[in-house]
Chains A and B, each alone.
Chain A
Amino acid sequence: MSRRVRLALFAFAGPGLLAVLLIGLHGLPAFGHYRNVYGLLVDKVEPGLRHATDIVTALNFDIRAFDTLGEEFILFASVAGVAVLLRHLRGEEEAEQARGIEDHRFAGASPSLQLTSLILIPLLFALGAYLLLHGQLTPGGGFQAGVVLAAGPLAILLAGRYFALKRMAPESALELVESVGAGGYALIGLGGLIFATVYLKNFLPVGHQGTILSAGMMPINSIAVGLEVAGAFLVTWTEFFDQALIVER
């Protein structure tokens, strides 16, 4: 499409989009005015019903537990797609050849960067573990904990030690973690089907509000999702780094 045709198209479509946007913005409620009943209702019902204090986690793992199942498998499928595509591009022989390289080209990371990474790694793991176990109490939960946990090993790469990372977390182990997380969530739901007659319905005691062992199966769901997300991110990153760092020979 030539520049002139594109400009003509924009001259036609641009004002239309602007008009629709303006009409839409005009219909919005005023800033800070919440008009939805759903949020208020969930806020009222969920603390009493499941003893959770973080309503976002309660939504994800209780009220909309089935949505979360779908989202989890969307992530799982897309990571599998990335892995299949990139491994096909790479080819197995090239990976065999690359085994001789000791460390990648950024190995000359400065001492200050290495020290920063060293400090970051335990902090990220601690934060990730905290978010994973306190999902039903404070902001956090499976997905957030998963991405923070995955960022921990990434700091090893920052320190210029990609192959140390590969040794510590080989791809087969990452895939296992991801699959256990995704499968675990589906299996926990099966517990609901057996003990509470509805798939993914809570079947565990709700415990004492405000403690780690409360809110029924939310903590277990959170751990399953955390494993899945951490595995998914690390598999994706590893695939991309293999492309960028190993196949250069």
Chain B
Amino acid sequence: MTDHDPTHIPVIGVDFVTHRFRSVTALRDFSCAIGPGVTGLLGPNGAGKTTLMRLLTGIYALQSGEIRIDGQSLTSPAGRDHAAAQVGYLPQTFGTYGNFTVREFVTYFSILHGVASSDLDTAVDEALRRVDLDGRAGDRMRSLSGGMVRRAGIAQAIAHRPRVLILDEPTAGLDPDQRYRLRETLRDLASETAVLISTHLAEDIAAFDDDVLVMQSGQLRFSGTVRELAALADRAETRENDMRSPVEKGYSVAQALPPMQRPLVAAAAA
């Protein structure tokens, strides 16, 4: 679902959010709507992607504007608690306690997200199965490869069955095979959960034939499908021996588009 499809109520609605860090404005009147399936959040480093994700997860308090998750506003502490229950989050980088087993790692966060003790083992088993780590549940976190640690991170984010899964640069540092397997996992998860993936690599988004938001300088520059982004490739300046894919070319064009001031968030949420 995209902003141009007002017939669907978005899982996430962001309205005129501005967020500043002292003199730096990370988000400027940012609005968007995110629906079921995979939504790619594309933008160069410093575009405001991580700030947006931390706002969506309740890590940062809103300074201005409004965010709704599943219809619940995050402006109040209760709303931020709601976000904690409805959102699963995997940051770009995270360390682990090496002495934790994979099962303990996932259990730790499942309890924090409110999974009752009676459901805990089932929820953890299910999450590990979905990321294909059920065979490594008893292994220490320090014994896992980078791709497995990332998948364990996804397991902790989905064990409480969130409505929204937010992943910040999930493929960073992974080899091609690990990237492929991770994308397959995400595609599978997207059948039940809205998945928001932040990346600065257009190829990550091209792997999903879903929706894309392009950010630049804290503003939304494009909102549409992967195909619509690729269609912008015709407007790209082509160079000799240009090896870029249509999506990558479209991404370049989209970054230079004027800011989108008012997608159809309110209309869709009303």
| Same assembly | no
